Amino acid sequence: MTSSSFPASASSSSASSALSRSAASAAPARLALKGDLLDFTAAPAWARVDDPAVRFRPGHWLLIEQGRIVGVQADDPGEGWQREDHSGRLILPGFVDTHVHSPQLDVIASYGTELLDWLNTYTFPAERRYQDPDVAQEGAARFLDALLAHGTTAAVVYPTVHKVSAEALFEAAAARGMRLITGKILMDRHAPDGLRDDVHQAERDCLDLIARHHRRERLAYAVTVRFAPTSTPEQLAMAGALCRADPTLYMQTHVAENRSEVDWVARLFPEARSYLDVYDRVGLLHPRAVLAHGIWLDETDRAVLARTGAQIAHCPSSNLFLGSGLFDWPAHLAAGVAVSVASDVGGGTSLSTQRTLSDGYKVQALKGQRMTAWCGLHAATRGAAEALDLSSELGHFDPGTLADVCIWDWASGPVAQGRMDLARDLHERVFAWMTLSDERNLVASYVAGVARFRRD
Ligand SMILES: [Zn+2]
């Protein structure tokens, strides 16, 4: 049973759904993919277009054994390999979306509000439906298939306050072999009926989900505070205690997205120096903490992020759509803060990482700064993997990593093709691709060497 108005059968994800449920769940013993391989060996410098951290190997074979990358070579590997020749196409590591809300696919592209009104008008009613296990299961499957159909193979995800919604996401990700970090939302005040928990039941639910899913296959648990206003000080303290008890847990929340929200937090927590300080005081900031937005932080806040190792998930599409503000990316880099990029659907208007990065470029342009394609793509692949302490598993083509890999057309349609033909150097070409492409360019998505989406 579902109350969704976005049937899976009408979306381009139906092909990947079919693959997910088919027998195509075991990686081929030896798979070789040929195309233009692009990844990063380190973090590119801000605003540098000829950066040595960029590794471009056109017309090369990516060799995968039992789901793991074992090498890259120019020569055809021969008969002993299942070969797929995608010559003239771009091959990238699968994208990592570090902040996205699965139930909010149902409210993407909703008109006319800023953050706090948007939550009350659109988001909370959509999330309430996820207390129904059937809705949660159908929604989790539809959401993950949609990620795969956009070239995103790993994600840090918000379900809803309901335990069953986190459970459904874990099971759906395990069925697809995906790297997924999630946890039930903690929210015990300032939310409508049907969307609040309480400290003790929430703690029991978290401990049970951690025991059964954290570090199972490619799953990990994130202590998930929606944002400071919707948790009591007692619940925030409980969340901090969970993190201190197990440093392998992730933490996700929102911070300093919108000025009205920042003012509200200041009234609710007068003892805190800043919004970020509310989290720091209870021990929620650590190297596995992922904080979305961070638009209205100051230099002291950025120093706290750097000291604790907590990272920012920058959500440019959402920030523009909700009119939240312009994130200062270089200021965070200068302070030594890790920054990844995220769709923040449904505040963001697309699951496409290219569209997110294109908006990211525009946000920096409005601040008089320029984001290279290298900084954007690194933040969505190797940079995100390193920030999440997952770079031994994904985000690049080094031997030993799991083959989370996507194949893309360089161009879709005559305008993009014409622009590609005129590109004078690699950065110009990749920047045009980042700006003009989207999920329609996606040919296939592999998760640990298994095709989980194919366009045809
Ligand atoms: Zn969000």
376-404 pLDDT, tens digit per residue, is 999 999 999 999 999 999 999 999 999 99
Where do the domains of the chain lie? Answer: 14-93+397-454, 95-387
Strand boundaries in 277-330, DSSP class E = 289-293, 311-314
DSSP string, 130-151: GGSHHHHHHHHHHHHHHHHTTT
Using the predicted structure, report yes or no on whether residue 2 has a pLDDT greater than 90.
no
Using the predicted structure, report yes or no on whether residue 8 has a pLDDT greater than 60.
no
What's the pLDDT at 306?
A: 98
For residue 153, the CA-to-ligand 1 centroid distance in Å is: 19
Band (pLDDT 50/70/90 cuts) for residue 456 is confident
Mean pLDDT of 128-134: 96
**Nearest to 30, CA basis, from 104, 72, 94, 82:** 82
How many angstroms separate the CA atoms of 329 and 184, rounded? 29
For residue 286, the CA-to-ligand 1 centroid distance in Å is: 19
Band (pLDDT 50/70/90 cuts) for residue 118 is confident
How many angstroms separate the CA atoms of 124 and 160, rounded? 9
For residue 161, the CA-to-ligand 1 centroid distance in Å is: 14
Q: Class of the 95-387 domain?
A: alpha beta
What's the pLDDT at 106?
A: 87
Band (pLDDT 50/70/90 cuts) for residue 451 is very high
DSSP string, 352-414: -HHHHHHHHHHHHHHTT----HHHHHHHTTHHHHHHTT-TTTSSS--TTSB--EEEEES-SSH
For residue 252, the CA-to-ligand 1 centroid distance in Å is: 10
What's the pLDDT at 19?
A: 54
For residue 242, CA distances in Å to 96, 193, 225 come to 25, 26, 12
353 alpha-carbon distance from chain centroid = 9
The C-alpha angle 228, 156, 197, rounded to 5 degrees, equals 40
What's the pLDDT at 112?
A: 83
For residue 359, the CA-to-ligand 1 centroid distance in Å is: 16
Mean pLDDT of 309-324: 97
CATH superfamily name and code, 14-93+397-454: Urease, subunit C, domain 1 (2.30.40.10)
Ion ligand 1, residues whose Cβ is below 5 A away: 292, 344
C-alpha dihedral sign at 361, 365, 367, 368:
positive
